[in-house]
Each structure stands twice: as structure tokens, then as C-alpha cells.
Chain A
Amino acid sequence: MKKNKIKHTFGDRVLSFIIALFMIAFVIITLYPVLNTVAISFNDGIDAVRGGIYLWPRKFAIKNYTTVLGMQNLVIGAKITVARTVIGTVSALVVNALLAYVVSRKRFMFKRELSLFWVITMYVNGGMIPTFMLYRNLGLTNSFWVYVVPGMISAWNMLVIRTYMTGLPDSLEESAQLDGAGYWTIFVKIISPLCKPVYATIALFVAVAQWNSWFDAMLYNRMKTEYTTLQYELMKLLSSVMQQSGSAASAKYSTAAVTPITIRAAATVVTMLPIICLYPFLQRYFVTGLTIGGVKE
């Protein structure tokens, strides 16, 4: 039995040391900027301009958060972002699941053609300008629906669900058909309950994308402040910080207790908090989703 014990050679110990060093550095580099932002967000505005805040606020202040929560455009942005995330995720999930269901039916007469029709969209697209003009002609610009309608079906998401559905035994559908169930009933009552894990995966991917997207707000709803999003507002805050050097910022805001740096930090924390709280509990879903997506086709 003793012979089976793993021998610790010199090389192995060096490797262990390197791994430990690498992982410690990795964790620090990953977490430090996030924790630093949290520290700055709780720091007094003028004091923060001096720099030198690391993991803990030097001069504690809650003012940044009260200011951020009182900023009208950020509140509107938050509401719109929540709305687009909820509506966008639900609608995308329903249509992608339906499409995947149709193309994964073995007997369906156009399953190959329909799959191809969607796979092509993964590789060919009109590009920014024609797409912009189409949305304008359809009346989607300057409206909330530009966040939900255009990106609803994505071939990639559909293929992930399809792969999962194809893996389910055919006998389920056959026996349900013998019992007189139609395609709708089979989808709602039999296939969908079994697809919960892959649905959760896709919902997670879509929700994160919706929550984090900003470019559509900038491109299609720049003029409509009532349809602004959290990320777009954050971007405006960011560019206001970038335009000012440290000293200029402190001079300009010397009478205020908040500065762009601390305001942005507070807004950043508010924006990332929901996702940071949720993702650790959803790990198994995105791991399965990626593994299916990686080996598809």
C-alpha cells in the first residue's frame, strides 16, 4: 500500500509552489479592482480625489449612495434595465425554446431547411448601418422595444436548446402522441419540464446580456432619456471622469461632498450588485450550457 503513495519529487514541489503563487496572484488581480471600487464608493468625495484608497475607505461617507439613488436619470435607467431584462429574457426564452422544439422534431418536414436558415444568420449579417436603417424604418428607434424585439431569437441559443432536446428519448413524444397529445401539448407538458436546466442556462445568458448592454441605448435611444439604461448612464459618468484630471475635478467640486470618482464608484457598485449576488448560485447552469454549446455541431 505504501508504494502507491504519491512521491513528492523536487519538481512536483516546485510546481505546487508555482501553482500557489499563480492562483494567489490571479485571485488578487481579479478581486482587487472590484473591492477597491467598493471602498471608493464609501469614501468621502474630495478625499478620494487624492488617491491612495485601497481596500477600505479612508474617510467613510454614505453620501455617494444617497446622491446616486437621487439621480433622476439613474433611477429611470434602473427601471428600464429591470424591465428589459425581465421582458427580454422571458420572450427570448419562449421563442428560442419553441424554435428549438420545432427543429428538433424528427418527423418535421422542414427541420433541416429551418435549421440552416438560422445557422446562416450566425455568419452573415447586414452590418451596423443597414441594421440601423431597418430599425428606424420599422419604428423601433426611440422606443423601448428595440431592446427586446430585434435580438429575440439567437441561433446560438436555439442550437444549445436543440442539442439538449435532441438528447431526450424519442419514446416520450411517441407515447404522448399515441395518447392523443398534439405538438403544443407535448411541448408544454412533456418536453419543457425536462428542459428546465437548459432553459435556466439560456435565461441566464440572455439576462446577463440584457443587463449589461449599453450600445443599443446609445445608438437607438440617444435622444430618448425616458428609455435610457443603467449601463448607458454609467458610461456617461465614466466619460465625465475621464475628461477631468484629478486636480481639475477637485477644484470643480470643492464645495460638494461628492465627486465624479466616488459617484461613479457608487453607481458601479449598484449596477453590479444584483449580478454578483446571483451568479455564484447559478454556476452549474452556465457550466452545462457552455459545455453543450462548445461541442454542438
Chain B
Amino acid sequence: MARAQVSKVKKDRRITWKEVKRQKALLIISFFMVVYGFIFYYLPLTGWVMAFQNYKPKNGLLGSKFIGLDKFKFLFSDATFIKVIRNTFCMGALNLLTTTLMAILFAILLNEIRNSVVKKTIQTVSYLPHFLSWIIVTGILHDALSSTGIINDLLMRAGIIKQAINFFAHTQYFWPIVAFANCWKETGWNAIIYLAAITSIDPCLYEAASIDGAGRLAKIRYITLPGIKPTIIILLLMNVGNVLNAGFEVQYLLGNGLVQSVSQTIDIYVLKWGISQNDYSLGTAAGIFKSAVSIALIMLSNAWAKRAGEERLF
């Protein structure tokens, strides 16, 4: 029986003229999809050559002079770029950590609410910020933190500060502001998946725990948390590969000259050098560095996932 199935599968995979004719429609669609994917996703990779050239638009990719690793050497001797790497990593890690913790906390506490109308209402409210663009989110955040904004207002009324703080002028506030912005926008959205994981926990476990006299806190600690642990690990690992990608919009929109040393990320650096200063080679080199680190992080997290006994990511 098993052998028959294997041979059937093998037969299906064999490319025969008859099959080609039968699957003509699929093959035609695939052809266009591959052409499209090749142009828009694979062709830009040839641009990586620029990183090893002193690229001049008038000479083109083939005519520009090769200079080896000079652009990379320049990057790593540039004190600004070292800071940029630090900023990208630290903000990415801080965001990942805070948004994950907030989402888990929110999901667990929301799950404890018995009244389904209240629960549904809170959840609907919680999705709202996800649907707003970063333009809007940074705009209202800017309002809230301005000298006449609600935060300064509250702090002064509470007597904690005497004078309004200009939050966007001091470097020490920038990373927490970015982390808060991410939490504000995505907590409800990220909690969806954890809530789904909590729902799939066997209710018998909770009943059994009740009979044994466990309180709600104990149930959260010994049933809910272990129950969603695989989801937490998988999502964390999936997002580790994206840490470097999460560093553009907020930083670009909220950053200013005063906090530049902590707000600039790799993407902003690429934009500044590559597009504004027209140094395509340097911009590409910085982009390659980012891609390489991202792929390394993905492979690393994949290996971790395997060791942790979880599903592999891809």
C-alpha cells in the first residue's frame, strides 16, 4: 500500500509531454510569475556589484571602475556608521522585546475578562492603532510629547517637573519613545496570535487545576504561560531575522538634528548617502551589510529553533 503510494507520487513528479500538455495553463501562469519575480526581486541583486565599484551613472554597471572592498573599509572606519549599527540593533532588540512582552501581557489579561461584550470592545479598540500610518502615529505622538502636550501637562500638574521637557531634544528619550510608539501601535494586533494560542489550550487543564485549588494567578503561571510558550518562541525567532528591518519609518519621522546620534539607522544612512548624496556605491555597500547580517540572524534563529525542539521556520 505504502509502496504503491510512493510510486504514484513519483509518477506524478515525472515530466512527460502528456503532463506538460495537461498542465499547460499552470505552466503559462508560472512562466509569467517567474519573469515578474526575476525582474523585481532577483534582478536588483546584480546591483550589488556597485558596492565593489566606484560607480558612476554615466559609466554604468559594466564601465565603472572596480575598487574592491574600499567602500566597506570606508564604512567601518566611519564613526557615524558604527553608531548607526548600534542604533539599529539596540532599537530593533528593544522594540522586539517590549512589543512581545506587551502583547503577551495584554493577551493574558484580556483572556481573564469574563464579560464578552467588554472583552470584544477592548479588543476592537486595541486594533485601531495598527491601521493608522506611521505618519499619523508619529504626528499624534509628537503632539502628546510637545511642550504644551498632554504628557508635559500631566507631569507638571503632578508636580514631578517644573518646566516642560522637550522630549525630542534629548538623546536619552529617543529609544524609549520609539519603543513606546511601537507598543502603542502593535500591542493589540500582535496579541491576536497569542489569544488564538490561548484559546487552543485544553480547557480540561484549567478545570483540573481548579479542582486542585489553583487560583487564577496560578493557572496563568502553570497553564496559560506554558501553553503559549511554543508560540512565543516561534514568533520571537521569526522576528529576530527582522530586527534590522524594523528601523526606518519611526526613526526617520521622529528623528531630528539634535538626536541624530541615536536616531539614525542603517536604512536612513543608506537613504542619506545613496539617494541624497548620490553615492550609490556606499549606499549599496551599507545595504549589503544589512542583508548579510539579516540572513545570518535568520540562520542563527533557525538553528536555535531546531535546538529548542521547535518547528523549523523554513
Contact = CB atoms under 8 A, between A and B. Distances in A.
**A and B part of one assembly:** yes
Interface of A: 6, 9, 11-12, 15-16, 18-19, 22-23, 26-27, 29-34, 36-37, 40, 50-52, 54, 95, 98-99, 101-102, 105-110, 114, 117-121, 123-134, 138, 149-150, 152-153, 182-184, 208, 211-215, 219, 231, 234-235, 238, 241-242, 245-246, 261, 264, 268, 271-272, 275-276, 279-280, 283, 286-287, 290-291, 294, 297
A134 B44 contact: yes
A238 B287 contact: no
Interface of B: 12-13, 15, 19-20, 23, 25-27, 29-30, 33-34, 36-37, 39-48, 50, 105-106, 109-110, 112-113, 122, 124-129, 131-136, 138-144, 146-150, 153, 184, 187-189, 192-193, 196, 210, 215-217, 231, 235, 241, 248-249, 253, 256, 267, 270-271, 274-275, 280, 283-284, 287-288, 290-291, 294-295, 298, 311, 313-314
Given A118-B33, A234-B136, A272-B136, 11 more contacts: A11-B215, A30-B128, A33-B140, A125-B44, A127-B287, A132-B274, A219-B275, A231-B133, A275-B131, A283-B127, A297-B311
B293 to A, nearest CB: 12
B196 A291 contact: yes
Contacts, number: 253
A108 B44 contact: no
Nearest to B42: A121
Contacts of A6: 210
B30 A102 contact: yes
B7 to A, nearest CB: 15
Nearest to A184: B25
B193 A102 contact: no
Contact of B143 (A23, A36, A50, A279): A36
Classify the secondary structure of A's interface with B: helix
A294 B280 contact: no
A9 B214 CA distance: 10
B37 A153 contact: yes
Nearest to B291: A127
A85 to B, nearest CB: 12
B114 to A, nearest CB: 10
A118 B280 contact: no
A157 to B, nearest CB: 13
B50 A231 contact: no
Nearest to B57: A133
A49 B295 CA distance: 48
A114 B34 contact: yes
A109 B15 contact: yes
Nearest to A234: B135
A233 to B, nearest CB: 9
A279 B131 contact: yes
A279 B25 CA distance: 37
Contact of B270 (A127, A214, A268): A127
A235 B215 CA distance: 50
6 contacts: A98-B33, A114-B30, A126-B45, A215-B248, A261-B143, A276-B131
Nearest to A98: B29
A113 to B, nearest CB: 9
A130 B46 CA distance: 8
Contacts of A37: 139-140, 143
